[in-house]
Structure 1
Amino acid sequence: MSVDIHISEEAGVRYLHFSSDWVQGAMRVARPWALELDYTREMMACLLLHPDADWPRSALLIGLGAGSLTKFLHRHRPAARITVVEIEPAVVAAARQYFRLPEEDARFNIVIAEGAEFVAKAKKRYDLILVDGYDEDARTGMLDTLPFYAAARARLSDDGLLVTNLLSKRKDFRDSVARLRQAFDDRALAFPSCDSGNAVACAASGEPLSLPLEELKENALALKRETGLNLLPTVTRLARSKSCPGGILSL
């Protein structure tokens, strides 16, 4: 893989592009640790399901982009060990130069590799696996396949979650969710689509999760106080959808 990296900036927001106008990442220059794009904020809804400050203890991120998710976890979950897998070295270089990517240290490392191959060969288990890997043509390659989802499930800890960014405007969006549910024995949930055309799906391993939406709302308020991230709109959209029968989110 080889991509042309382009950086643009408008109204205080810096953007990462791969050979096109397609936005691969963004950072508000005045708040480099905040999550600028709505789907990245929604991917952190996993923290509402495990609100303890010491979760996740380990996180695997597939796809670096502008490093938004990496920086958020690095800042707000200081006990977590974070591994990022990125296929393109130029993306890592751009994130370091333009997007305030933290220095690698004992709890944060970057691996240059193809994400699906890394997961298939990995031995370590993770509390959280975040998947956000697209090329310049919005293709995911092996990252949206049943073998990948099955391999990712095998790499999750007993209270592990997989969270993936799906493009809801693509024709195969429902097929993507079906593959995820098949790999996780139906323990998967797709959040209502964001305005951007992204949809976030979450799948769980280990003991079943069952949280009332009111508890999710309380967790969202606590997370907002702690980090500034406001996920109350996500909880509201879940309540209005048919994703949580009886007002209970079950995974």
Structure 2
Amino acid sequence: MADAILLHETQDALGPIRVLDYDDARILSFGDNDEQSKILKAAPHIPQHTYVQAMLLVLLFCQPRSAMVLGLGGGALIHALRHFDAAIKLTAVELRPAVIELAKRYFQLPIGKKLNLIQDDAIEFLARGEHKRVDVIFADIYSAKGVDSGQLAPVFLGKCTQLIKPNGYLVLNCWKEHSQNRQLLADVSEHFAHVHACLTGGGNWVIFASQAPLLLGASALKHQAQSLSPKLNFALERSLTRFGPWT
């Protein structure tokens, strides 16, 4: 990562955690050539990674009053959701205490009464089922080695169905390779009646699972994306072109 200034470096049982600073951006890294999170310092609410932009497609299908983010990172999703609607009640669950502290210190995490930060293993937290039901669960549990296998397990998917409201959504961030995983599709389909997905330009495969069908057709979705884009400050329709049923 040439031309970056190392602002902070620490280590925990899971490995290194670094904060890298560029002229206009800041990056949270868990390893060499790794970007867990990236924000624009002047506009942290504008997602810099295409997978975060794709995950926000869920705003086309529902108007969440509450959401849960599993895996905080630098808080890119929190920033975008808070900017979109300051009234959304957000819960973010993060395993590593240092990540939470660095998100506050270096990534302008929007702390307030509407954000509940929980330091815990997200898989175990969900398994306990102690949280109130929410409109959207964003599952983005990653380490330097990649996606946590726990967020792809049938038991995890089952727990999500219990904590998502009837018209809500599970938004699951995976790798491109998971698009060919027929067992994963079968597992998601066993727990959710409707499954869609989006391939991102960055090599991620974002899954959208719900019990309720999509009510908008392609033309209406495009119009809705164009309407929401100014509120999000990026072109949501770019991700929409890669979105469709996962069959």
What is the TM-score of this pair, normalised by structure 2? 0.87
2:58 aligns with one of 39, 46, 56: 46
Q: Which amino acid aligns with 1:199?
A: W
1:154 aligns with one of 159, 162, 185: 162
Q: Is the 8 A contact 1:129 1:162 kept in 2?
A: yes
What is the TM-score of this pair, normalised by structure 1? 0.86
Counterpart position of 2:109: 101
The equivalences for 1:38-117 within 5 A come to 38-50=50-62, 55-103=63-111, 105-117=112-124
- Structure 1: runs of 5+ lacking an equivalent: 245-249
Counterpart position of 1:118: 125
The equivalences for 1:1-251 within 5 A come to 1-10=13-22, 12-50=24-62, 55-103=63-111, 105-123=112-130, 124-169=132-177, 173-185=181-193, 187-191=194-198, 193-205=199-211, 207-238=212-243, 243=244
Runs (4+) of structure 1 exceeding 4 A deviation are 170-174
CA distance in 1, matches of 2:218, 2:60: 10
CA distance in 2, matches of 1:171, 1:158: 26
Q: Is the 8 A contact 2:179 2:205 kept in 1?
A: no
Q: Which amino acid aligns with 1:235?
A: L
Q: Which amino acid aligns with 1:26?
A: K
Percent identity for Structure 1 against Structure 2 = 28
How far apart are residue 195 of structure 1 and its match? 2.1
Q: Which deviates the most, 75-84 or 124-133? A: 75-84
CA distance in 2, matches of 1:166, 1:140: 9
Shift of the 113–10 alpha-carbon distance from structure 1 to 2, 3 Å rule, reads: same
How far apart are residue 226 of structure 1 and its match? 2.2
Q: Which amino acid aligns with 1:218?
A: H
The count of aligned residue pairs is 234
Q: Is the 8 A contact 2:129 2:159 kept in 1?
A: no
**Secondary structure of residue in 2 paired with 1:221:** helix
How far apart are residue 114 of structure 1 and its match? 1.0
Q: Is the 8 A contact 1:56 1:77 kept in 2?
A: no
CA offsets, 1:43-95, max 9 Å, x none? 00000112xxxx21110000001100011112221121100000111111111
Q: Is the 8 A contact 1:6 1:18 kept in 2?
A: yes
Shift of the 209–87 alpha-carbon distance from structure 1 to 2, 3 Å rule, reads: same
How far apart are residue 171 of structure 1 and its match? 8.6
CA distance in 2, matches of 1:177, 1:9: 39
Aligned alpha-carbon RMSD (Å): 2.1
How far apart are residue 236 of structure 1 and its match? 2.4
Richer in strand (by share): 2
- Structure 2: runs of 5+ lacking an equivalent: 1-12
How far apart are residue 189 of structure 1 and its match? 1.2
CA distance in 1, matches of 2:205, 2:163: 23
Q: Which deviates the most, 143-152 or 115-124? A: 115-124
Q: Which amino acid aligns with 1:115?
A: A
CA distance in 2, matches of 1:171, 1:39: 14
CA distance in 2, matches of 1:93, 1:176: 34
